[in-house]
Amino acid sequence: MGELKKEDVEKYLENNPQFAKDYYDRKLRGEAVGALFNNKQLNLKDGVSFHDLTKLEETDILLELVWEIQNASNMEKTIHKVLQRLALFLQASYCSLFLCRSRNGIPELATRLFNVTKDSKFEDNLVAPESEIVFPLDIGIVGWVAHTKKTFNVPDVKKNTHFSDFADKQSGCTTSNLLATPIMFGKEVLAVIMAINKQNAPAFSKEDEAIFTKYLDFIAIVLQQHHINYLHGVESRKSQILLWCANKVFEELTDIERQFHKALYTVRIYLNCERYSVALLDMTKEKEFYEQWPILLGEVPPYKGPKTPDGREVNFYKIIDYILLGKEEIKVIPSPPVDHWSLVSGLPTYVAENGFICNMMNAQADEYFIFQKGPVDETGWAIKNVLSLPIVNKKEEIVGVATFYNRTDGRPFDEYDEQITETLTQFLGWSVLNTDTYDRLNKLENRKDIAQEMLMYQLQCTPHELQTILVNVVILFFQPWTETEMWCLTKAMKEELPDPTALELYEFHFSDLPVSEHELIKSGIRLFVELNAVEKFKVPAEVLTKWMYTVRKGYRDITYHNWRHGFNVGQTMFTLLMTGKLKKYYSDLEAFAMVAAAFCHDIDHRGTNNLYQMKSAAPLAKLHGSSILERHHLEFSKTLLEDESLNIFQNLNKRQFENVIHLFEVAIIATDLALYFKKRTMFQKIVDATEQMQSDDERIKYIITDQTKKEIIMAMMMTGCDLSAITKPWEVQSKVALMVANEFWEQGDLERTVLQQQPIPMMDRNKAEELPKLQVGFIDFVCTFVYKEFSRFHKEITPMYDGLQNNRVQWKTQADAYDEKMKALEELNKKHENDVGVKKGTEGREDNGPTKSKTCTVL
Ligand SMILES: [Zn+2]
């Protein structure tokens, strides 16, 4: 072989481009390196090998890398450059960056820069949030590196037990050998860098490892700087939230919703998410009696769904949805349907049930929680990543679930987001306790107000007043101890008290109008004597008298809901039991309690309804959430019984007394007409069932063996009593209806003057002429069912239904007459308008204005 000429080499290289490429790749031209560094030229001689280069020019490369790092604004971009360099120096096919993070307390690695080659584009290597490949630490060599925090040189992945071909399958590449190392921050793994497939050699060498480690220092600096910046951001968000919370925790203690709302809205920018929602949980542990009835009757299966750890049914009563993306908006969804997009996945329910923090990436792909696919509403927004946390109060009860959606950078929420949102939800939990305490204080205060109001208004029956009822001194001061003495006392009382036959106390058509209010107190006592309650339950005559007198005084002197109404309801209850023969389903004690509760059912009524209490923010409305007045009547009645000198049930044992109080509760709350519609089908079913039965014994057995049925019938009896005025003879009904109407109109006046609101027609005295029409509507819509069903249940009650039907005819006649009148007026009006029109046509435009008003006065 002769001397090698320059031309020959040139010719050879031209004919063998692959060799030329490999050669330069291997031998690394200084110009090429320089070109990689912002066009800075490195002055390298031709044909200098990498080993020669490392001595001199590498210093330059390193300096330039330092320069790059100092000016780094984009962590990924800087690392991308270093990885390109690494791919070149190591002659690796690819280099990749896996970032470490933690969700739900479990660390994981996600691809951030994937398959970087010596000349691949940054944009092609940067992994978008939705295409991340995520490894738990127990999967793949990358996971193993992060787990052991050690560098690994794997000459043949097939021989390595930790290797997973998951990423290969995703990318379509085949990994043969690799070099991987963790990037640390103290004891924490920030990332794993991996070089894959050594070119022109079966594996990476010891020398490669050294180069690898050296260049990774740059990556470590960039990553650490980035991480510190990120932590700084996290800390400042957290401290902003904490600062705000600390400031607000003792303020704004109005109600939970307002408190949550204020907190969540104020800190929204620190939450770094596109949208979040708070689902508030119903805190009631026990259902109301009328809600339990359908379950006890077996009509509705008992609740078997998820429950909170403290045993409440998971029931979200409200969702507040905060939209931060685009136009900010807050949506409040009361009583959200179960298929509402924020609930349908079942995740909030799961969180409410278990109290776990759930941090999910790519929620749409989850198999357990099925989130709504695609846009959730008209904004076009769709769910990607979800972070859901329970809001727990200091009593460890879950009061709601906060769910955060889609971190603003598109990445999944990480441990720091978990920490920040947990700080917030913890604060929300405390604030609940605070509002709770406040509510309690407030309630106590309101109770005090009400108690004072009660005391002011309520003067107990004086000895003098007592004597006006029972003049017999022997009765007053003689406490009977034996059966005979008791019998004597009852006999003496009967002689002093009104005659039930004369007053028609056993009749459905009884009218209080001819009876004085004072006489009604005596009549009330008489009813208990008739029930045999005084004798059987050893009610001291003085106590019964004082109680009855005090109940009377408990009623205010208002237009309709006064003592007369209270008495009527008690009398009707008595008549339903005795004349209506409903007593056979109840014990003597129950009958005693039912009549007593009926007398008390509207005690301390203010002449305005529940809605007015709410609208006028009355102390009562703050005390009770629903059935405001009814709960007050109940509390008032129970307060009276707490005073031993008024406790007509003082000689009962504890169990009996508790039973009486329970019946009081059911009976009095049942008079809330809002609950009437909840109980009517249940009552109808009982009536249907008994109608099919052959014997009375069978009917009695069917009812008395089931406490729920007894309570439903009792509740319906209370409604029947409360509305009984509508069944009275026309002379009575027409008068009472006017009293009711007058009380409504008085409320309407208050609404106009105090609340500055237009009252509904029923309460508008300007629409007084519509009363007959309203009465017909009330009869058809509410009353007919009650008395029709009771007549079907017990034919003895038919007089009430007959009375009702008679009154309907009367009201209908009046309503029709009013309609006729209105129609006639309207026609007259039309005719007149036409006349005026004709006149105007003839007389021209002269008489506008005053003439018109004059003609109106004619009408
Ligand atoms: Zn009433």
pLDDT digit string (tens) for 566-605? 999 999 999 999 999 999 999 999 999 999 999 999 998 9
- Picking from 285-294, 427-436, 638-647, which range would have the lowest pLDDT averaged per residue? 427-436
- Percentage of residues of the chain with pLDDT beyond 90: 34
Q: How far apart are CA 437 and CA 502, in angstroms?
A: 56
Strands (E), 299-408: 316-323, 329-334, 358-360, 386-392, 398-407
The CB-based long-range contact list for 658-664 (8 Å cut-off, 24+ gap) reads 659/589, 659/590, 659/593, 660/589, 660/592, 660/593, 660/596, 663/590, 663/593, 663/594, 663/597, 663/714, 664/593, 664/596, 664/597, 664/600, 664/634, 664/637, 664/638
> Is the confidence at residue 87, as pLDDT, over 80?
yes
pLDDT tens for residues 509-554?
A: 999 999 999 899 999 999 999 999 988 998 888 889 889 988 998 8
With H, G, I as helix, E, B as strand and everything else as coil, classify residue 305.
coil
Mean pLDDT over 744-765 rounds to 87
| CA-to-CA dists, residue 486 to 481, 537, 703, angstroms | 7, 11, 33
Band (pLDDT 50/70/90 cuts) for residue 508 is very high
Contact yes or no for 544/555 (Cβ under 8 A): no
Q: Which residues are registered as beta bridge partners of 278?
A: 320, 402
Helix 563-578 vs helix 541-554: crossing angle, to nearest 10: 130
Mean pLDDT of 697-722: 95
**What was the pLDDT predicted at 853?**
37
Q: What is the mean pLDDT of residues 318-322?
A: 88
Q: Which residue has the tokens 């109290």?
A: 355
Three-state SS for 293? helix
First to last CA, the chain: 134
What was the pLDDT predicted at 661? Answer: 95
Q: Would the pLDDT of 858 be above 50?
A: no
158-167, 363-372, 454-463: least confidently modelled range: 454-463
Q: What is the DSSP letter of 499?
A: P
d(CA 436, CA 416): 30
Phi-psi region of 203 (alpha: psi -120 to 50; beta: other; left: phi over 0): beta
pLDDT greater at residue 433 or residue 194 = 194
CA of 804 to the centre of ligand 1 (A): 18
Higher pLDDT, 600 or 4: 600
Q: Give me ligand 1 centre to Cα 772, in Å.
A: 21
CA nearest 114: which of 102, 104, 99? 99
Residue 27 zone, left/alpha/beta (φ > 0; ψ -120 to 50; rest): alpha
Q: Which amino acid makes up residue 193?
A: I
C-alpha of residue 715 to centroid of ligand 1, in Å = 13
**Ligand 1 mean position, distance from CA 288 (Å):** 21
Q: What is the mean pLDDT of the chain?
A: 82
* Closest to 782 in 3D by CA, of 627, 673, 679, 668: 673
Residue 633 corresponds to which tokens in the numbers above? Answer: 């009547």
Amino acid at 717: M
Contacts of residue 34, defined as CB under 8 A and 6 or more positions apart, other chains included, come to 40, 41, 42, 44
Give Cα 24 distance to the centre of its chain: 70
Instruction: Give the per-residue pLDDT at 213.
Output: 82
| Ligand 1 center from residue 567 Cα (angstroms) | 10
In 237-311, beta strands by DSSP E: 273-281
Distance CA 334, CA 336 (A): 5
Q: How confident is the model at residue 496 (pLDDT cuts 50, 70, 90)?
A: confident
Select which of 80, 226, 561, 565 is catalytic: 561
Cα(460) to centroid(ligand 1), Å: 22
Give percent of the chain with pLDDT exceeding 70.
81
User: In the prediction, which pLDDT does 475 show?
Assistant: 47
pLDDT higher than threshold 90 for residue 504: yes
Give the highest mean pLDDT range of 400-404, 455-459, 724-728: 724-728
How high is the pLDDT of residue 565?
96
Kindly report which listed range (394-398, 695-699, 725-729, 825-829) carries the lowest average pLDDT score.
394-398
pLDDT band at 852 (very low <50, low <70, confident <90, very high): very low
| Block residue for tokens 């609740």 | 303
856 vs 104: which has the higher pLDDT: 104
Smallest CA-to-CA distance from 495 within 462, 465, 472, 463 is with: 472
HEC secondary structure over 39-60: CCCCCCCCCCCHHHHHHHHHHH
- How far apart, in whole angstroms, are the C-alpha atoms of residue 245 and residue 363? 30
Mean pLDDT, to the nearest integer, of 460-468?
A: 66
Whole-number Å distance between alpha carbons of 413 and 358: 10
Alpha-carbon 718 to chain mean position: 32
Question: What pLDDT does 42 receive?
Answer: 44
- Identify the residue with better confidence: 15 or 249: 15
Confidence of residue 186 (pLDDT cuts 50, 70, 90): confident
- Residue closest to 240 by CA, chosen among 420, 425, 434, 408: 420
What pLDDT is recorded for position 795?
95
Query: How many angstroms is it from 607 CA to the middle of ligand 1?
Result: 11
Which residues have CB under 8 Å from 506's CB, separation 6+? Answer: 500, 574, 575, 578, 579
Phi, psi for residue 461 in degrees, rounded to 5: -55, 125
Task: Of 38-42, 79-83, 572-576, give the lowest mean pLDDT range.
Answer: 38-42
Sort 10 into a burial class: Cβ within 10 Å, 0-12 / 13-18 / 19+. Answer: exposed
Got the DSSP string for 397-442? -EEEEEEEEEETTSSPP-HHHHHHHHHHHHHHHHHHHHHHHHHHHH
State how far Cα 808 lies from the chain centre: 43
Centre of ligand 1 from the C-alpha of residue 666, in Å:
14
For residue 601, report the distance from its CA to the centre of ligand 1, in Å.
6
Q: How far is the CA of 74 from the centre of ligand 1 (A)?
A: 75
Task: Give me 193's structure tokens.
Answer: 């860098």
Distance 206 CA to ligand 1 centre (A): 95
CA angle 27, 30, 34 (to 5 degrees): 135
Above 60 in pLDDT, residue 480? no
| Measured distance CA(499)–CA(686) in Å, rounded | 36
Q: Ligand 1 centroid vs 516 CA: distance in angstroms?
A: 19
- Let me know the angle formed at the C-alpha of 791 by 789 and 793, rounded to the nearest 5 degrees: 70
Q: Per-residue pLDDT tens for 420-462?
A: 888 778 777 766 655 555 555 555 556 556 555 555 455 566 6
Looking at residue 189, its amino acid is V
Buried/exposed code over 16-44 (b: 16+ C-beta within 10 A; e: otherwise): eeeeeeeeeeeebbbeebbebbeeeebeb
**What pLDDT is recorded for position 548?**
92
The pLDDT confidence band at residue 463, using thresholds 50, 70 and 90, is low
Q: How far is the CA of 671 from the centre of ligand 1 (A)?
A: 7
Nearest to 559 by CA among 749, 783, 805, 781: 749
Beta strands in 241-342 (DSSP E): 273-281, 316-323, 329-334
Per the DSSP assignment, residues forming a β-bridge with 80 are none
227 is catalytic: no
Mean pLDDT of 350-364: 89
DSSP string, 539-554: --HHHHHHHHHHHHHH
User: Ligand 1 mean position to 673 CA, how many Å?
Assistant: 10
Counting DSSP H helices and E strands in the chain, the numbers are 34, 12
**pLDDT for 600-638, tens place per residue?**
999 989 888 888 887 776 766 666 667 888 998 998 899
Whether 46 has a pLDDT exceeding 70, the answer reads no
Q: Higher pLDDT residue, 800 or 762?
A: 800
Q: Looking up tokens 């002055």, which residue turns up? A: 43
* Rounded Cα–Cα distance for residues 619 and 621 (Å): 5
Dist CA 38 CA 664 (whole Å): 89
Q: Quick one: pLDDT at residue 56?
A: 52
Sheet of strand 188-198, all strands in order from the earlier edge strand to the far edge: 134-136, 106-116, 92-103, 188-198, 178-185, 152-154
Give the number of other CB atoms < 10 A from CB of residue 625: 10
Report the pLDDT value the prediction gives residue 388, as an integer from 0 to 100.
Answer: 93
Answer yes or no: are the C-beta atoms of 197 and 176 closer than 8 Å. yes
Specify the pLDDT at position 619.
67
